Chains A and B, each alone.
Chain A
């Protein structure tokens, strides 16, 4: 089955850049997603990247995709204390008519120190 791996914890100082890494297994994955979850809250779609791209930038967020190595990363520039949350990487394998089933990693707890 699909196996999405992420490191569980990351701590950074406010103002520094954060890089959260993820590896996935299904080479057919069409979209790869990053979601943010704050304590007791829902899953907020941060950004996504289509599998035929290798980079996507959205304000402070940069997503890099290495399809050969099945490696995805999320870089947050100028990290703020409000960025402290759990970040989930998710892959969406291309199964034809059953698009939309996401496989999530265990999440990376990002802690930002003032």
Chain B
């Protein structure tokens, strides 16, 4: 079965540079989520989109922005990178179910290292 596809898998950037991560959700999934997992930490919710509109916002720095496009793929843009942004960034997707809940599938993640 198709899964959530993230690219690139690994990225090395210098401080103050910009990085863009891409996410392709599972086909027919209408909701995309971004999470950040620091070393040895649990994943923290950043932001989500439902039908191309931002649906929820978590602890996303102002230096970061994201959007969901007409084909449902999403991009996370990170500017003025700091050392503390080094983390594994997950994208996840889901679709709303009749009962009102949804099951959420994660991609393999994109490793960002800021040097």
**Which residues of A line the B interface, CB within 8 A?**
4, 30-31, 33, 35, 41-45, 48, 50, 88, 92, 94-95, 97-107
- Listed from nearest, the 4 A-B pairs whose CB atoms lie closest are A42-B108, A104-B42, A43-B106, A98-B56
Bound-state Cα–Cα, A88 to B96, Å: 23
The chain B residues found within 8 Å of chain A, CB to CB, are: 31, 33, 35, 41-45, 48, 50, 55-56, 58, 90, 92, 94, 96, 99-109
A92 CB to nearest chain B CB (Å): 7
> Within 8 Å CB of B109, what residues of A?
41-43
Instruction: Report whether A100 and B99 are in contact in the complex, using a CB–CB cutoff of 8 Å.
Output: no
A101–B103 touching, CB < 8 Å: no
Q: How far is the CA of A45 from the CA of B43 in the complex (A)?
A: 14
Q: Which of B41, B43, B45 has the most CB of A within 10 A?
A: B43
Of chain B, the residue at the smallest CB distance from A41 is B108
What A residues does B50 contact at CB under 8 A? 97
Partner of A33, one of B41, B44, B58, B104: B104
Residues of chain A with a CB closer than 8 A to B55's CB: 97-98, 100
Q: What are 9 pairs between A and B in contact, CB < 8 Å?
A: A30-B100, A43-B92, A45-B105, A48-B103, A95-B56, A100-B102, A100-B104, A106-B42, A107-B42
Q: Are A100 and B31 in contact (CB under 8 A)?
A: yes
Q: Which residues of chain A come closer than 8 Å to B96, judged between CB atoms?
A: 99
Other A-B pairs, 10, CB within 8 Å; known A42-B109, A45-B104, A104-B43: A31-B103, A33-B104, A42-B106, A43-B43, A45-B103, A45-B106, A97-B50, A97-B55, A100-B33, A100-B56
B100 touches A99 (CB 8 A): yes
With A30-B101, A100-B33 known to touch, is A105 a contact of B90 (CB < 8 Å)? Answer: no
